[in-house]
């Protein structure tokens, strides 16, 4: 049974859902970092840069808030483009998924180096890696490719 022209295929819908979950995870990671800087325990905590220089964790709150906003704008704008079946959004989603996967592997390596003491970091990095893999697995499927390159998708005005 053939689908009517303009009906989004299941895999293209799944691509949008996968990117939405990846977006939520990336925003959540930045939001957790921001919340940590606001905790009372962060007031006296410092980050040692290794060369004898230290930075108070609480001084990073405005930087983390900026990262939350930038992450919301970039992932939100891309997700809007994915929902509107824009091919540029599919490519940006692929790039963001690759970056998310790299960051997840880095975060996982840090968790392993600390002896698995950061359970939240472990869970977030694994969830991020799975979501990024899901986006990448769907991005180049034939149905998704055809939908986003407008072969079967909504027709652009002539």
**Nearest 5°: phi and psi at 56?**
-65, 135
Per the confidence metrics, is the pTM higher than 0.85? no
Q: Taking 60 as the threshold, does the pLDDT of residue 132 lie above it? A: yes
Work out the number of other CB atoms within 10 angstroms of the CB of residue 84: 10
pLDDT at 129: 96
Inter-residue contact 33 to 67 (CB < 8 Å): yes
pLDDT band at 139 (very low <50, low <70, confident <90, very high): very high
**Nearest 5°: phi and psi at 63?**
-65, -45
C-alpha to C-alpha distance for 134 and 155, rounded to whole angstroms: 27
pLDDT at 72: 96
Q: What share of the chain is helix, strand, coil (3-state, %, to 5)?
A: 70, 5, 25
Please write the tens of the pLDDT for every residue from 15-69. Answer: 999 999 999 999 999 999 888 888 887 777 877 777 888 888 777 888 889 999 9
Q: Which tokens sit at 30?
A: 């930045």
pLDDT at 54: 83
pLDDT at 140: 92
Please write the tens of the pLDDT for every residue from 63-118. Answer: 889 999 999 999 999 999 999 999 999 999 999 999 999 999 999 998 898 888 88
pLDDT at 12: 92
C-alpha to C-alpha distance for 84 and 97, rounded to whole angstroms: 19
**Nearest 5°: phi and psi at 35?**
-60, -40
pLDDT at 157: 47
Nearest by Cα to 37 from 68, 13, 78: 68
């Amino acid at each position: 049974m053939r689908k009517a022209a303009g009906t989004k295929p299941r895999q293209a819908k799944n691509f949008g859902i996968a990117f939405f979950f990846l977006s939520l995870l990336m925003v959540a990671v930045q939001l957790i970092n921001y919340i940590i800087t606001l905790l009372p325990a962060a007031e006296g905590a410092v980050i040692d840069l290794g060369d004898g220089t230290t930075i108070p964790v609480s001084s990073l709150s405005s930087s983390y808030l900026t990262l939350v906003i930038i992450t919301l704008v970039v992932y939100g704008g891309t997700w809007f483009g994915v929902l509107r079946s824009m091919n540029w959004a599919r490519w940006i989603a692929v790039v963001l998924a690759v970056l998310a996967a790299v960051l997840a592997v880095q975060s996982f390596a840090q968790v392993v180096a600390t002896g698995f003491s950061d359970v939240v970091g472990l869970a977030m990095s694994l969830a991020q890696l799975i979501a990024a893999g899901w986006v990448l697995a769907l991005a180049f499927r034939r149905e998704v490719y055809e939908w986003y390159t407008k072969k079967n998708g909504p027709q652009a005005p002539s």
